[in-house]
Amino acid sequence: MAVVNVEEEAPDTRRRVLLAVGVLGLFAAGIFAAFAIGGSSETSAGAETPQGAYEQLFESLANEDLIGAAEILLPGERDSLIQPWFDMVEQYKRLEVLDPALDLSAVPGIDLEFSDLEFETTQISEDLMSVKLVGGTAVSSVDPMKLPLGPLVLDRLPEGTIPDEIETGIGSVDPLDLNQDNGLVAVRRDGRWYVSLWYTVAEAAREQGGLPLPDPSDRIRPRGESTAELAVEEFVRSSIDLDVRRLIELLPPGEADALHDYAPLFLDDVEAAGRETRNLMGDIGLEIDLVRLDLTSIPRGPDRIVQFNGGEILFTSDYVDVGFDVTDGKVTVDAVIAQDEVRFSLTIVDDCFEFEISDLDGEIQDLQRECASDVENMIEEFLGQEVFVGGLPEFDIFTEQPVIGIYTVERDGQWYVSPLGTLLDTQVEVLAVIDKDKLADLVDWFIVQAEENLAIL
Partner 1 sequence: MTPPPIAGRSRDVVAATFVLVGTVFLPWAESGSVSRSGWSIVGSARRLGVVDSTFGELFAVGFFVLPIFAFAALTMFALDRPRLVAAASGLAVVATVVVAAAVIRSSLGPRWGLWLNVATACVDGFLTIRLWRSSPISRVLEE
Beta carbon of residue 19, minimum distance to partner 1 (angstroms, whole number): 4
Which residue lies nearer to partner 1 by CB, 206 or 300? 300
First to last CA, the chain: 118
- Number of neighbouring beta carbons within 10 Å of residue 292: 11
Which residue lies nearer to partner 1 by CB, 12 or 380? 12
Which residue lies nearer to partner 1 by CB, 106 or 349? 106
Which residue lies nearer to partner 1 by CB, 83 or 345? 83
Beta carbon of residue 107, minimum distance to partner 1 (angstroms, whole number): 8
Beta carbon of residue 128, minimum distance to partner 1 (angstroms, whole number): 22
As a whole number of angstroms, the distance between CA 139 and CA 163 comes to 20
Which residue lies nearer to partner 1 by CB, 110 or 213? 110
Angle, helices 197-208 vs 75-94, to 10°: value is 110
Assign 186 to helix, strand or coil: strand
As a whole number of angstroms, the distance between CA 239 and CA 218 comes to 22
Q: Which is nearest to 77 in space by CA: 248, 69, 228?
A: 69
Burial of 229 (0-12, 13-18, 19+ CB in 10 A): buried
As a whole number of angstroms, the distance between CA 15 and CA 135 comes to 62
- Greatest Cα pair distance in the chain: 125
Which residue lies nearer to partner 1 by CB, 65 or 143? 65
Which residue lies nearer to partner 1 by CB, 44 or 161? 44
In this structure, the dihedral spanned by the alpha carbons of residues 417, 45, 120 and 110, taken in order and rounded to 10 degrees, is -80
Beta carbon of residue 424, minimum distance to partner 1 (angstroms, whole number): 15
Helix (H) or strand (E) holding 378: helix 372-379
User: Site residues (CB under 8 A) for partner 1?
Assistant: 15-16, 18-19, 21-23, 25-26, 28-30, 32-33, 36-37, 39, 43-45, 60, 63-68, 70-71, 75, 78-79, 82-83, 86, 103-106, 301-302
Q: Which is nearest to 75 in space by CA: 305, 255, 267, 198?
A: 255
Angle, helices 419-432 vs 75-94, to 10°: value is 20
Which residue lies nearer to partner 1 by CB, 16 or 275? 16
Q: Do 189 and 127 contact (CB within 8 A), yes or no?
A: yes
CA–CA–CA angle 291, 296, 297 (5° rounding): 140
Which residue lies nearer to partner 1 by CB, 79 or 203? 79
Beta carbon of residue 409, minimum distance to partner 1 (angstroms, whole number): 12
Beta carbon of residue 119, minimum distance to partner 1 (angstroms, whole number): 22
Residue type, 436: K
Q: Which is nearest to 130 in space by CA: 189, 72, 44, 207?
A: 207
